[in-house]
Amino acid sequence: MPMKPETLLRLSTSFLHAIADVEVEGREHLPKTGAAIAAVNHLGLLDILMGFAPSQRADATGWVADKHRKNPLYAYIVNSVDGIWLDRENPDLSSLRQALSYLKEGRFFGIAPEGTRSPSGQLQQGKVGAAYLAINSGAPIIPGGITGTENYGRTLLSLRKPKLRVRFGEPFTLPPLKRGKRQEQMRAGITEIMCRIAALLPEKYHGIYAGHPRLIELMAD
C-alpha cells in the first residue's frame, strides 16, 4: 500500500537531515499552493528527495525515469506521490499529458530537464520535453541547483556526513509558442531553463552551458 504523501514528506525530510548536512537556499521561491514546476539538475538518486522535501507540499510529484522501477524502495516512493514513469528512449506523449493534467489540478511538479543523471556532474543538454511542459501549462518554473548528491555514497562510507545543497531561484515563465518555428522556440525555452539552473550552480557544474551568453547575462544580474 502506498504511503500517505504527508507521511512520506516528513520521513524524507528527517532522513535527509539524519544522513547529511542539508542546506536549502531560496525556499521563499517555492509556492505553498498552485501549479508550479521545479526544474533541477540531476546528479544522483537523492535528487528526488532534495527537490521534494523543501517544497513541504504533500501534492508534490514529478517525472521519473522508468529504469528506476527496478529499485523497490525508489519505486515505492515514486508511486506514493503519484509519480509519472517516463520512457527516456521514446516519445512519451502519455507522460506529457499526465503531467499537464497534474499542473491543471494545481500540483507542484518536479522535473530534471537533462532526462538522466550526469555521469560527470556537469550539466548536459536539456530535453525539449521540459520546455513543452512549461509552455503548454503556463505554470511558473522554479529553477534549482543541486550539489553534493553526486558523491554522497563515498562520503558516507568514509563515516562523514555529506554536504547536500539545493539553491532555488526566482520563478519565471516561458512565452506561448508563436506560429511557425515551434521547435526553434522550444529549443530556446529549454536553453533558458538550463541557463537559469546553471546560474544557481558553481562554475564547475556548468558543463555545456559554460560561457553561454544567456548564462553570462543571468550571472551578471
pLDDT tens per residue, range 71-82: 888 888 888 889
3 state SS for the chain: CCCCHHHHHHHHHHHHHHHCEEEEECHHHCCCCCCEEEEECCCCCCHHHHHHHHHCCCCCEEEEEHHHHHCHHHHHHHHHCCCEEECCCCCCHHHHHHHHHHHHCCCEEEECCCCCCCCCCCCCCCCHHHHHHHHHHCCCEEEEEEECCCCHHHHHHCCCCCEEEEEECCCECCCCCCCCCHHHHHHHHHHHHHHHHHCCCCHHHCHHHCCCHHHHHHHHC
Each residue's pLDDT tens digit, 107-164: 999 999 998 899 999 999 999 999 999 999 999 999 999 999 998 777 777 778 889 9
Contact between 133 and 84 under an 8 Å Cβ cutoff? The reply is no
What strand order describes the sheet that includes 36-40? 21-25, 163-168, 141-147, 36-40, 108-111, 61-65, 84-86
Alpha carbon distance 173, 34 (integer Å)? 14
Could you tell me what percent of the chain has a pLDDT over 90? 63
Helix axes 182-198, 128-137, angle to 10 degrees: 100
The chain-wide mean pLDDT, for the chain, equals: 91
Surface-to-core class of residue 32, CB atoms within 10 Å of its CB (0-12 exposed, 13-18 middle, 19+ buried): exposed
Cell of residue 42, nine digits: 540531476
pTM: 0.94
Amino acid making up residue 117: R
Per-residue model confidence (pLDDT) at position 70:
84
**Topology of the domain covering 5-220:** Glycerol-3-phosphate (1)-acyltransferase (3.40.1130)
Cell of residue 207, nine digits: 558543463
Cell of residue 29, nine digits: 521561491
Each residue's pLDDT tens digit, 79-109: 888 999 988 776 678 999 999 999 999 999 9
Domain boundaries, the chain: 5-220
Q: What is the mean pLDDT of residues 23-41?
A: 96
Q: What is the mean pLDDT of residues 195-201?
A: 98
* pLDDT band at 214; cut points 50, 70, 90: very high
Cell of residue 87, nine digits: 520512457
On the question of pLDDT at 190 being above 90, the answer is yes
